[in-house]
Amino acid sequence: MLLLEGKKAIITGGSRGIGRALCEVFAREGADIAFNYNVSDERAAATIEKIESYGRRALSFKVSVTDRIGIIKMVRKIHEEFEHIDILVNNAAINRSDNFATTTERAWDEVIDTNVNGVFNVTKPVYKYMLRQRSGNILNLSSIGAMRALPTAVHYATSKAAVIGFTKCLSREASAFGITVNAIAAGIFDTDLSDALPDRWLEMHKFWCSKGRRGHPEELAEFAAFMVSDKNSYMNGEIVTLDGGSIT
């Protein structure tokens, strides 16, 4: 029996990095997948091809999580196609390598709009369908930068701390309707997002992380598949750290 047999999942930011790994692993575990992306049609096509290689249905939508009206239309279309939505993974996020002293209002707004408002924009319409079903599983991706005093950008850490608060408070409200909400506080993974970090910071990470390396996206995806599966039926409102073993 596959972990996600027969499930219907929405994954934001599914064309690359952790999002793409989530799409692949969830499809391998039996789920039909819908995902959004914002830039590369070529990468989105590659993700679709991988999902379909497992014999699963794939839907893709080129729409930003910051486009509230576009996201509402996307979720409606997904529900029409899938008939129900069992899983939502809020993965889409951006970062900027800024010091607070030089952070512009535009950079702050971009990060907060994508990483915080984007979670609201996607979750709200999906949540309405889950309420009617009296079932559902929501997984949000946060960061260890939200929990520890690390040399990361203040706007990014702030946005990911908001995701933790969102997860904890929504989990209590949602549980009355059979909906589970959890989060992963991710460390540094081998993605485009971490490639933008300063080389000095990445070198420091080798000593700071007991595994001595960045995580692989599929390592997070494998754990996420368990977290949103029926086998993980008693966890709710939890923020699970997955960072390769912090020594700080």
Show me where the domains of the chain are located: 8-242
Non-local CB neighbours of 56 within 8 Å, separated by 6+ positions: 27, 30, 31, 32, 33
| pLDDT value of residue 197 | 67
In this predicted model, what pLDDT tens digit does every residue of 190-243 receive, in sequence order? 877 766 666 776 777 777 888 888 899 999 999 999 999 999 999 999 999 999
CA angle centred on 144, ends 141 and 149, rounded to 5°: 145
User: What is the C-alpha to C-alpha distance for residues 47 and 60, in angstroms, rounded to an integer?
Assistant: 9
| pLDDT value of residue 223 | 98
Cβ 188 vs Cβ 203: under 8 Å: no
Cβ 196 vs Cβ 95: under 8 Å: yes
In this predicted model, what pLDDT tens digit does every residue of 6-45 receive, in sequence order? 999 999 999 999 999 999 999 999 999 999 999 999 999 9
Indicate if the pLDDT at residue 159 is higher than 70: yes
In this predicted model, what pLDDT tens digit does every residue of 57-114 receive, in sequence order? 999 999 999 999 999 999 999 999 999 999 999 999 998 878 899 999 999 999 999 9
In this predicted model, what pLDDT tens digit does every residue of 119-156 receive, in sequence order? 999 999 999 999 999 999 999 999 998 988 777 889 99
- Which active-site residues does the annotation give? 156
| pLDDT value of residue 73 | 98
Output phi, psi for 60, to 5 deg.
-130, 150
**Where residue 116 falls among pLDDT bands split at 50, 70, 90?**
very high
Dihedral angle of Cα 81, 233, 185, 179, to the nearest 10 degrees = 50
Architecture of domain 8-242: 3-Layer(aba) Sandwich (3.40)
| pTM, full prediction | 0.94
Indicate if the pLDDT at residue 248 is higher than 70: no
Strand partners, 189: 215
